[in-house]
């Protein structure tokens, strides 16, 4: 059977992502979502069966892997157990050199895809993108969640600053991704209500909405400019009105 090449967003040169779902619409929608935060990353949907039904397709998964593989690695995320089996079968049939750079990650599909896409967009290598996808496991657990209004413990030294979310829709996926991208360019650690500012899922798990006051903090004596830069980004509303 001739494989139909999937539609791929993004460009080559970065770790590619494949989303395998029993539903073509879910996989395609996930590509659309991830592309909002990772426009320069190769993303491909491998959803549904060859005849358009609900299920998974070996040929679609294999074609999607080939489409996003630029030689630096491919991360595959799946929705259900049988999708993982299909992906593993497709991987087994790859050439040895290609197979070595394809990793199937057993993590929540949506959260893992978003985290992996942001890491790949930032130029993360295969190991970093895999780690980002796996960070989705348990990322939204409610235990010991810091308050969105400054409930995290104060930093004993360093520098901290409170800032209010002004975006109408809160810190949703796109602005959260911009925030994390900036945090990853800084050379000092910064926290948001006690959570790592470089963790997309950590930031999104707080459910920050318009009007919430957050505390940006660093223990680094040289971290003032980093905190102020992130605070300025939040206060700017990320270009949204």
Could you read off the pLDDT of 57-107 as tens digits, one per residue?
999 999 999 999 999 999 999 998 899 999 999 999 999 999 999 999 999
Q: Do the domains 8-134 and 159-239 sit in the same CATH topology, yes or no?
A: no
Position 16 confidence tier, pLDDT thresholds 50, 70, 90: very high
pLDDT tens-digit series, residues 105-127: 999 999 999 999 999 998 999 99
> What are the boundaries of each domain within the chain?
8-134, 159-239
Active site residue 241: no
pTM > 0.75: no
Quote the CATH superfamily of domain 159-239: HPr-like (3.30.1340.10)
Supply the pLDDT for residue 153: 46
DSSP 8-state symbol, 54: S
Tokens of 218: 């660093």
Which whole-number Å values give the CA distances from 130 to 15, 20, 52, 98, 101, in the listed order? Answer: 10, 16, 29, 16, 11
Quote the CATH superfamily of domain 8-134: Phosphotransferase system, mannose-type IIA component (3.40.50.510)
Q: How far apart are CA 82 and CA 129, in angstroms?
A: 23
pLDDT tens-digit series, residues 46-58: 999 999 999 999 9
pLDDT tens-digit series, residues 171-218: 887 888 889 889 988 989 999 999 899 888 888 888 899 999 999 999
Catalytic residue among 6, 8, 22, 73: 22
């Amino acid at each position: 059977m001739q494989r139909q090449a999937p539609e791929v967003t993004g460009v080559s040169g970065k770790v590619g992502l494949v989303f395998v779902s029993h539903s073509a619409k879910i996989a395609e929608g996930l590509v659309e979502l991830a592309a909002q935060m990772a426009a320069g990353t190769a993303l491909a949907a491998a959803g549904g069966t060859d005849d358009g039904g609900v299920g998974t397709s070996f040929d679609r998964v294999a074609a999607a892997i080939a489409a996003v593989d630029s030689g630096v690695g491919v991360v595959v995320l799946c929705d259900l157990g049988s999708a993982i089996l299909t992906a593993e079968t497709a991987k087994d049939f790859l050439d040895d050199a290609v197979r070595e750079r394809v990793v199937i990650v057993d993590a929540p599909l949506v959260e893992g895809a978003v985290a992996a896409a942001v890491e790949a967009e930032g130029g993360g290598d295969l190991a970093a993108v895999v780690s980002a996808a796996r960070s989705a496991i348990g990322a939204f657990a409610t235990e010991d969640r810091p308050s969105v209004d400054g409930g995290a413990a104060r930093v004993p030294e360093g520098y901290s600053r409170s800032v209010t979310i002004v975006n109408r829709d809160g810190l949703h996926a796109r602005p959260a991704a911009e925030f994390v991208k900036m945090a990853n360019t800084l050379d000092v650690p910064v926290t948001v209500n006690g959570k790592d500012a470089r963790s997309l899922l950590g930031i999104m798990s707080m459910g920050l909405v318009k009007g919430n006051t957050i505390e940006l903090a660093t223990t680094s004596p040289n971290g003032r400019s980093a905190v102020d830069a992130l605070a300025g980004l939040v206060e700017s509303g990320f270009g949204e009105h």
